[in-house]
Structure 1
Amino acid sequence: MKAVLFVLVATYFTLQPGAALQCYSCTAQVSNKDCLNVQNCTQDQNSCWTSRVRAIGLVTVISKGCSSNCVDDAENYYVGKKNITCCYSDLCNVNGAHTLKPATTTLGLLTVLCSLLLWGSSHL
């Protein structure tokens, strides 16, 4: 009798659908503080994602949500950067998409250019 009861209980829990993943969700926000809405993902969505797009080094736009086929990605463009990170546990995308930092080479060139412009204007 105990064996039958054990099999019935085990079958019940095996056939129960698992709890859906939860991710933070937002669209095109400028602050991570505005990306704290919780979204219940569908059964086929097995990951959370965060996207950070930084334009001209001035504005960072953050989006987050659930995904069924998330792929980590980082790309540099002429006028900005895009970084997408994926994670696989409840509310794991609280931060996500590692902070985008200006390229060292670009920062160095801008420093040299500004120095030359300032030095040149003082000798006019």
Structure 2
Amino acid sequence: MKASLLVVLVIALCTESAFSLKCFSCKDAPSNIHCFNIATCADHEKYCLTTYSTKGLGDDREQSITKKCAAFCPSIDLNIGIAGIATSCCQSSLCNVSGASSVKTSYTMIAVGVLASLACILRLGL
């Protein structure tokens, strides 16, 4: 009886490690096509995290994608005009195959920022 319990315990432990979370992994890649490395997550890491960031305007716009295992899932969706960042998380192996929602440059936010700066400069000048 003890031997069979020991066998069941060993099988359970081996099965648990066989089902460790796996995520696609890359750091500051210029596009999603460069993010196909696979990382095995630590036991405390329960999420596959994708971070998509962009900065600049038009033809000078740069983007980068970072994918990794994570212990928690930060919910970020920030757009300040000429720069932005968005995250997405999932909890099954290799679920972060696609990028996070892309961040669009907001020309409205740029215009508001320029107008606010201009108003501040004019006010200080008086």
Q: Which has the larger radius of gyration?
A: 1
**Residue 28 (structure 2) aligns with:** 28
Measure how far apart 1:104 and its partner are: 7.2
CA RMSD of aligned residues (A): 2.5
Distance in 1, matches of 2:12 and 2:107, equals: 53
Q: Compare the two structures and name the one with the higher helix fraction.
A: 2
Question: Does the residue aligned with 1:26 lie in a helix, a strand or coil?
Answer: strand
**TM-score, length-normalised on structure 2?**
0.69
- Of stretches 62-71 and 75-84 in structure 1, the one that deviates more from structure 2 is 75-84
Report the CA distance shift for 1:73/1:47 in structure 2 as closer, same or farther (over 3 A).
Answer: same
Give the counterpart letter for 2:49 in structure 1: W
**Residue 119 (structure 1) aligns with:** none
Distance in 1, matches of 2:39 and 2:75, equals: 20
**Residue 47 (structure 1) aligns with:** 47
**Residue 67 (structure 2) aligns with:** 64
Gaps of 5+ in 1: 110-124
Distance in 1, matches of 2:82 and 2:29, equals: 19
**Residue 121 (structure 2) aligns with:** none
**Residue 100 (structure 2) aligns with:** 97
Gaps of 5+ in 2: 112-126
Aligned length: 105
Give the counterpart letter for 2:77 in structure 1: A
**Residue 77 (structure 1) aligns with:** 80
Give the counterpart letter for 2:72 in structure 1: N
Question: Does the residue aligned with 2:49 lie in a helix, a strand or coil?
Answer: strand
**TM-score, length-normalised on structure 1?**
0.70
Q: Identity of aligned pairs, percent? A: 30
Distance in 1, matches of 2:90 and 2:27, equals: 18
Give the counterpart letter for 2:46 in structure 1: N
